[in-house]
């Protein structure tokens, strides 16, 4: 029998208009956006649906992305599709927590709003940087930056794509060293801060104090934590893992490999874009990945899974 994982993209996948059809065509989707507006004191619909300058500002992006992905997930669940496990890349982990029943959607939305503010304020604009390193093995990257100060691995996305983060000068120097070490290409990213680096340790600790006030429940289904790529099945480690996540490497490739090793063969990416689907093709081509970013995608996913059930797969 097929085992399903709901997976959620992180910051950077946002796009004006995301989730608008879910808002306009479903009651449950509209309710998620409206509740977010009530909680945060500004129009989430306006932020997500209309072209504006705020959507790409971290303190707004994070709440917008989580609200949108949760709305899409709720519609999918309403149609009878439920996950066996959940995971999300960086910010997307909070959607995974909601999918797993660990955190209420209201708490996830308000927490990531604070998370976004803390991350935005952690390092003055221009002092930090992130860069994608393409075509180089992670072990080589680890060895090169281990000898340097002020630079860390931020994301293990998939084979051949790793992201580094830290002080701007250190990241730029690391890019040059990694080219010399055999990287096919290095690409500085257009981001507002050096996320998932040691420079955000203080921001993570501040977030930890916010998380101390959030109700954390025993997972109804397992979810995979970014920090260690392991399943979480109890409530106890959740706050510490989320506190560390802000300044630690996102082990996405390893997280996917963990899920596959435990029998997951169907991954449903829920949220704008197809970032995780792209990673999946490089991590493991044998598993199936579906996407939900438009209302018509719901019908496609539901029908495909029904056909599978009829075949007795």
CATH of the domain at 271: 3.40.366.10
Total-model pTM: 0.95
Sheet of 266-270, strand order: 231-232, 223-224, 85-88, 4-8, 266-270, 288-292
Q: Which of 258, 246, 268, 248 is nearest to 222 (CA)?
A: 258
User: Out of 69, 165, 192, 196, which one is annotated catalytic?
Assistant: 196
Q: Give the up-direction half-sphere exposure of residue 253: CA atoms within 13 A in the CB hemisphere.
A: 18
pLDDT per position as a tens digit, 145-196: 999 999 999 999 999 999 999 999 999 999 999 999 999 999 999 888 899 9
Residues 108 and 240 occupy one common structural domain: yes
pLDDT of residue 311: 72
Mean pLDDT computed over 269-285: 96
pLDDT at 308: 78
For the residues of 232-263, what is the DSSP string, one character each?
E-SSTTHHHHHHHHTTS-B-HHHHHHHHHHTT
pLDDT of residue 312: 62
- For 192-242, how does the pLDDT look when each residue is reduced to its tens digit (9 = 90+)? 889 999 999 999 999 999 999 999 999 999 999 999 999 999 999 999 999
In a shared domain, residues 238 and 269? yes
Whether 211 and 154 share a structural domain: no
The yes-or-no answer on residue 90 being catalytic is yes
Q: Number of folded domains in the chain?
A: 2
CA distance 244 to 75: 31
Residue 1 has pLDDT above 70, yes or no: no
Residue 193 lies in a domain: no
Bridge-based pairing of strands 185-188 and 128-134 is antiparallel
Catalytically annotated residue among 69, 90, 197, 249? 90
Q: Return the DSSP state at 86.
A: E
Catalytic annotation present for 196 = yes
Structural domain of 218: 4-122+198-311
pLDDT digits (tens, 9 = 90+) for 62-107: 999 999 999 999 999 999 999 999 999 999 999 999 999 999 999 9
CA atoms within 13 A on the CB side of 177: 17
């Amino acid at each position: 029998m097929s085992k399903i994982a709901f997976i959620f993209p992180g910051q950077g996948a946002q796009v004006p208009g995301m989730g608008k059809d879910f808002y306009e065509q479903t009651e449950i989707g509209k309710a998620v956006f409206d509740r977010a507006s009530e909680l945060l004191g500004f129009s989430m619909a306006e932020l997500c649906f209309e072209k504006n300058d705020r959507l790409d500002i971290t303190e707004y992006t994070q709440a917008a992305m989580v609200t949108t992905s949760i709305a899409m997930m709720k519609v999918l669940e309403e149609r009878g599709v439920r996950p066996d496990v959940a995971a999300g890349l960086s910010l997307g982990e909070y959607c995974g927590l909601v999918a797993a029943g660990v955190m209420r959607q209201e708490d996830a939305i308000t927490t990531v709003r604070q998370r976004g503010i803390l991350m935005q304020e952690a390092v003055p604009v221009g002092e930090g940087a992130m860069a994608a390193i393409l075509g180089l093995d992670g072990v080589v990257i680890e060895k090169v930056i281990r000898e340097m100060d002020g630079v860390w691995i931020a994301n293990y996305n998939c084979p051949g794509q790793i992201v580094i983060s830290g002080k701007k000068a250190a990241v730029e120097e690391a890019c040059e060293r990694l080219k010399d070490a055999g990287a096919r290409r290095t690409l500085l990213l257009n981001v507002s801060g050096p996320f998932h680096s040691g420079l955000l340790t203080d921001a993570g600790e501040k977030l930890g104090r916010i998380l101390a006030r959030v109700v954390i429940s025993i997972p109804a289904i397992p979810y995979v934590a970014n920090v260690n790529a392991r399943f979480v099945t109890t409530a106890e480690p959740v706050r510490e893992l989320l506190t560390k996540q802000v300044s630690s490497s996102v082990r996405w490739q390893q997280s996917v490999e963990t899920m596959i090793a435990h029998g997951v063969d169907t991954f449903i990416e829920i949220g704008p874009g197809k970032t995780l689907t792209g990673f999946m093709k490089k991590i493991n081509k044998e598993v199936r990945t579906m996407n939900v970013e438009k209302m018509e995608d719901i019908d496609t996913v539901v029908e495909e899974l029904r056909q599978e059930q009829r075949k007795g797969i």
